[in-house]
Homo-oligomer: A and B are copies of this chain.
Amino acid sequence: MHYVQAGADRVVGIDISEKMLAVAKEENSHPNITYVRMPMEDIAERKEKFDVVVSSLAMHYVEEFDSVVKSVYELLHENGVFIFSQEHPFNTCFSGGERWTRDENGRKIYANLSDYSVEGERESTWFVEHVKKYHRTFSGIINGLVEAGFTIQQILEPVPTQELLAQYPEDYDLLHKPDFLLVKVRKNCKKADRNIGS
């Protein structure tokens, strides 16, 4: 609905889960919005073009990142934008053991990083057991996007502001290890885009 309010005359929402689509339909129905049940790995089947493709916390479930990224590239108009969030590589790399080292008071002092450079499948428990995720390094993500033809526009690793930390000091551990990664890339580039700040 946000996209319709922002002026989109056509919005297609895809999800593999019938339940999620039912919730979406109930909460966000509009003549401009269509919902389609399909795995994101199959989006190349959509033979239409879009100005914007958005994916929220899903790319870390994709085994063939490069392939999905290429499909998104094909779906976009020239200068179209792909924005996605995913679990941060510091999180997706986790392959067992303890996620944090704590001091004698139980305070998290280090995020435990292991197997960061070993890309591939990870199993974890998230509501249910044996949830499969796929870890990719920063360079794996960036290079996959560049090789598909995208221009990197912006990367965010959001953390709480100083104001929020003053209010919730227990969230300081997010400064040790951000949980999410947000990426904005563009299909091709216009010269004007490349000269910001120069």
By a beta-carbon cutoff of 8 Å, the part of chain A in contact with chain B is 70, 73-74, 90, 97-98, 101, 109-118, 137-139, 142-143, 146-149, 151-157, 159, 174-178, 188-189, 191, 194-198
Distance of A70 Cα from B188 Cα, bound (Å): 22
Question: 8 shortest A-B CB distances, which residue pairs?
Answer: A110-B112, A139-B155, A149-B198, A111-B113, A152-B152, A117-B175, A117-B159, A142-B155
Contacts of A147 in B (CB 8 A): 196-197
- Give the contacting residue for A101; candidates B101, B149, B174; CB below 8 A: B101
A11 to chain B, nearest CB (A): 25
Q: Are B196 and A188 touching (Cβ within 8 A)?
A: no
Residue of B nearest to A160 (CB): B117
- Chain B residues positioned under 8 Å from A116 (CB to CB): 90, 111, 175-178
Q: Are B194 and A188 in contact (CB under 8 A)?
A: yes
What chain B residues lie within 8 Å of A143 (beta carbons)?
A: 154-155
The reply to whether B157 and A152 form a contact with Cβ atoms under 8 Å apart is: no
- The answer to whether A114 touches B118, judged by C-beta atoms less than 8 angstroms apart, is no
CB of A112 within 8 A of CB of B101, answer yes
CB <8 Å contact, A176 and B117: yes
